[in-house]
């Protein structure tokens, strides 16, 4: 099947992109790497929109240190994130996530902004930014605004991005000395979306645990985090089981995904111990 597109416009810069979206009367769709959007259009899951291509907007690309924050442009590609030295040093969770996302052709085109805006419940980056306490930057008809990752993901493929808005980038607090980051997931084949996955951070202030593939959007497992802070691993596994809401489908039952989440938590904890030795 071929995609049905009403029109296409390439934006010169962010202002131009926002103007194009504003003129599209609610029918504009942002095109970044196209790895999810074009697939959806080919399957006729979406059609008749004006595609506003933001892929050549230089100001939305790149990684920079800004005080205690790492600023990552929305158009930074998965592969660029995977080899960026600043990210490897200050937010290694993102580096680790890249190896689990699809395969090289998709990693060479897909962007972190596209992944976050698409908000697939089984995607890695949404759970990473939740665990990392990132802030997402939006620009739109009413100006700029920042949204905490905890308030950004609202449901299956649903985010806090409003009509006419563009995600311009994210800011991630830089890892403190001794901070550890681990990502664990289970997928049927390498590069498939995860059946279940976890991002686990150990900071001086405590643990951060975000789960993906086990609910309508990434889930911050606060109960499990508290148990981990008290060294209660069995309690954390039990708490996590109560905090997730896994789907059942042809890939795996809900019960199997719930079981997997507990197994992954124990493995992630042993990864953390291994990192410290």
Asked if 209 contacts 228 with a C-beta cutoff of 8 angstroms, the reply is yes
Site string for ligand FAD, 120-149 (x = CB under 6 A): ---xxx------------------------
Looking at the Cβ atoms of 75 and 239, the one nearer to ligand FAD is 75
Stretch that binds ligand FAD, among 23-31, 79-87, 147-155, 221-229 (CB under 6 A): 23-31
Q: How far is the CB of 196 from ligand FAD (least distance, A)?
A: 13
Query: Any contact of residue 33 with ligand FAD (CB under 6 A)?
Result: yes
- Residues 197-226 close enough to bind ligand FAD by CB under 6 A: none
What sign for the dihedral angle of Cα 100, 70, 59, 147? positive
Query: Any contact of residue 102 with ligand FAD (CB under 6 A)?
Result: yes
Alpha carbons within 13 A on the beta-carbon side of 7: 10
Query: Any contact of residue 96 with ligand FAD (CB under 6 A)?
Result: no
Q: What is the DSSP letter of 58?
A: G
Q: How far is the CB of 253 from ligand FAD (least distance, A)?
A: 20
Query: Any contact of residue 184 with ligand FAD (CB under 6 A)?
Result: no
Stretch that binds ligand FAD, among 35-43, 86-94, 174-182, 244-252 (CB under 6 A): 35-43
Question: Binders of ligand FAD: how many residues, by CB under 6 A?
Answer: 29
Q: How far is the CB of 94 from ligand FAD (least distance, A)?
A: 12
Looking at the Cβ atoms of 190 and 204, the one nearer to ligand FAD is 190
Query: Any contact of residue 31 with ligand FAD (CB under 6 A)?
Result: yes
Looking at the Cβ atoms of 123 and 209, the one nearer to ligand FAD is 123
Please select the residue that binds ligand FAD; options are 41, 167, 183, 186, rule is CB under 6 A: 167
Q: How far is the CB of 167 from ligand FAD (least distance, A)?
A: 4
- DSSP string spanning the chain? -----SEEEE-SSHHHHHHHHHHTTT-EEEESS-TTHHHHHHTTSS-SPEEEE-TT-GGG--EEEETTEEEEETT-BHHHHHH-HHHHHH-HHHHHHHTTSS-HHHHTT-BHHHHHHHT-TT-HHHHHHHHHT-EEEEEETTEEEEEEHHHHEEETTEESPPTT-EEEEEEEEPPPTT-EEEEEEE-SSTTSPPSEEEEEEEETTEEEEEEESSSSS-EE-HHHHHHHHTT-HHHHHHHHHHH------SS--HHHHHHHHHHHHHHHHHHHHHHH-
Residues lying near ligand FAD in the complex (CB under 6 A): 29-37, 39, 74, 101-102, 106, 109-111, 113-115, 117-118, 123-125, 161, 166-167, 193
């Amino acid at each position: 099947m071929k995609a049905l597109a009403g029109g296409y416009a390439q934006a010169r810069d962010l202002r131009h992109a926002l103007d194009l979206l504003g003129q599209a009367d609610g029918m504009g769709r942002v095109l970044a790497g196209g790895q999810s959007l074009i697939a959806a259009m080919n399957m006729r899951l979406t059609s008749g929109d004006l595609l506003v291509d933001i892929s050549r907007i230089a100001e939305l690309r790149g990684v920079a240190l800004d005080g205690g924050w790492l600023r990552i442009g929305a158009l930074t590609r998965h592969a660029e994130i995977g080899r960026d030295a600043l990210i490897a040093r200050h937010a290694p969770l993102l580096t680790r996530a890249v190896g689990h996302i699809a395969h090289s052709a998709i990693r060479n085109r897909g962007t972190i902004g596209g992944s976050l805006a698409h908000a697939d419940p089984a995607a890695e980056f949404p759970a990473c930014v939740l665990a990392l306490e990132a802030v997402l930057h939006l620009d739109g008809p009413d100006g700029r605004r920042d949204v905490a990752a905890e308030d950004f993901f609202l449901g299956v493929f649903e985010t806090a991005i409003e009509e006419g808005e563009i995600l311009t980038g994210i800011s991630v607090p830089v890892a403190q000395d001794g901070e550890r980051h681990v990502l664990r997931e289970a997928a049927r084949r390498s590069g498939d979306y995860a059946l279940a996955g976890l991002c686990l951070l150990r900071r001086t202030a405590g643990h951060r645990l975000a789960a993906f593939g086990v609910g309508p959007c990434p889930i911050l497992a606060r109960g499990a985090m508290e148990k981990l802070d008290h060294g209660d691993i069995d309690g954390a596994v039990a708490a996590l089981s109560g905090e997730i809401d896994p789907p059942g489908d042809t890939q795996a039952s809900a019960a199997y995904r719930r079981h997997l989440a507990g197994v992954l938590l124990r493995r992630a904890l042993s990864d953390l111990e291994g990192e410290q030795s």
